[in-house]
Structure 1
Amino acid sequence: MAVDRAVAPLGLTHAQYALMASLYGMSRTGLQPSQRRLADHTGLEPLYVSKLARALEGAGLVARTRDPADPRAMQLSLTEQGRDVTRRAIKVVQGLLDQLLEPLGGQVSPRTRQFTRELTTLLDAPLNPHTENDEEQS
């Protein structure tokens, strides 16, 4: 929610920011990813990435072109306006992260690194889809 509020003045949602920031990072390494590859990279559903990309294209922030190697696939790239908005959004989100992580000593503090490792461990832990309620209902 905080990211949504932070990027709203730039005309973006959190999901649009995630897509554009990922696209920005990938393009800086010379990649022009397909919608599918960007979906895999962001963890967003491919259909959702397609919807976001169409909306961002309509706003003049993203260009969608057919992949010459696979005419069924669409490649994405940021327009000049999209790069400008993305750079500004990244600064805003970095400022938000600075604020949120200040109690731990900032983004690069040992406490923040430890917190990140522990949070990653918790988020990566497999969950048992069965709960006690399931057993009681059987």
Structure 2
Amino acid sequence: MSNGSQGATPGFLVWRLSMKWRVAVDRAVAPLGLTHAQYSLVASLYGMHRSGLRPSQRRLADHTGLEALYVSKLARGLESAGLLERIRDPDDPRAVQLTLTARGREVTEQAIDVVQGLLRQLLAPLGGLDSPRAREFTRDLGALLDAPLDPFGTTDHETEQS
């Protein structure tokens, strides 16, 4: 642990790691014309398409954890850049489905390769991407993401577990 991390709270470390990751991804995908937020959107969309899904903006917002309004703004910008198309859902005229263009798939594949390289660098101290420590770290992160947070402190977590 670095000297600046000695005695730090878990919340501070999570925040610092998330900031380190965001800045690194921003810098890495900038030559491809993307920001970290745009990358998160197109990479998630790419993965969902590969799984046979054609998500709406709302579903993509839920998947990425980004606000729906922000996803809409990002999608409009990516559409203007020729990386994705926004199409009205034939089953729900209020919903907009997103799909990558051919150029969008190409840029996204390049960005995924770049970010995977960053991920390998990040996880090297844990033994690499496929190491038992990295898998455990991934499970721990998933558990933390699944834990409910109540910013107003109205949930009594002690009584929930009884």
TM-score (norm 1): 0.87
Shift of 1:19: 0.5
Aligned pair partner of 1:75 in 83, 97, 122: 97
Structure of higher RCO (CA pairs closer than 8 Å, 6+ residues apart): 1
For residue 96 of structure 1, the aligned residue among 118, 140, 145 is 118
Q: Deviations over 1:82-135 (max 9, x none)?
A: 00000000000000000111111111100111222233334444456468xxxx
* Amino acid aligned to 1:39: A
The alpha-carbon distance between structure 1 residues 79 and 110, as it changes in their structure 2 partners (threshold 3 A), is same
What is aligned with 2:11?
A: none
How many angstroms does 1:43 deviate by? Answer: 1.0
The aligned amino acid for 1:10 is L
Question: Which runs of no fewer than 5 residues in structure 1 stay unpaired?
Answer: 132-138
SS in 1 for 2:96: strand
**Count of aligned pairs:** 131
How big is the alpha-carbon RMSD for the aligned residues of Structure 1 and Structure 2?
1.6
CA distance in 2, matches of 1:127, 1:38: 21
Q: Between the two proteins, what is the percent identity of the paired residues?
A: 75
TM-score normalised over the length of structure 2: 0.75
The one-letter code of the counterpart of 1:12 is L
Q: 1:122 to 1:36 in 2, by over 3 A?
A: closer
Query: C-alpha separation between the residues in 1 aligned to 2:52 and 2:150?
Result: 40
Say which of 23, 40, 63 aligns to 1:18: 40
CA 1:129–1:20 in 2, change beyond 3 Å: closer, same or farther? closer
CA distance in 1, matches of 2:140, 2:51: 29
**Pairwise mapping of residues 100-111 of structure 1 onto structure 2 (< 5 A)?**
100-111=122-133
Map 1:1-138 onto structure 2 (within 5 A).
1-127=23-149, 129=151
Q: Which amino acid aligns with 2:56?
A: S
| Cα gap change, 1:122 to 1:58, in 2 (>3 Å) | same
